[in-house]
């Protein structure tokens, strides 16, 4: 349902927009979810925010999209 609404909105825009959908890519990554932090930490944390991982992949795709046109 959300895709139908998104497509309708995108068609109405007067200026061209490039939709970079990272949802499918993110769901395929093993490290794309919060997990218990190893060590003395009271809550959940994402170790991939400190190590190379999913956000770096998003940044590379975004950079490539910006400069490929």
Q: What is the pLDDT of residues 8-58, one digit of tens each?
A: 998 899 998 888 888 877 777 766 555 555 555 555 555 555 667 777 888
Would you place residue 68 in the very low, low, confident or very high pLDDT band (cuts 50, 70, 90)? confident
pLDDT at 34: 54
Tokens 């400069």 map to which residue?
A: 67
d(CA 17, CA 8): 13
Long-range contacts of 54-61 (CB under 8 A, 24+ apart): 54/26, 54/29, 57/25, 57/29, 58/22, 58/26, 61/20, 61/22, 61/25
9, 25, 62, 48 alpha-carbon torsion, rounded to 10°: 130
């Amino acid at each position: 349902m959300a895709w139908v609404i998104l497509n309708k909105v995108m068609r109405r825009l007067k200026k061209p927009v490039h939709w970079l959908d990272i949802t499918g890519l993110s769901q395929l990554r093993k490290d794309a979810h919060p997990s218990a932090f190893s060590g003395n930490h009271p809550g959940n944390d994402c170790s991939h925010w400190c190590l190379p991982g999913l956000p770096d992949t998003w940044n590379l795709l975004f950079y490539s999209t910006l400069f490929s046109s």
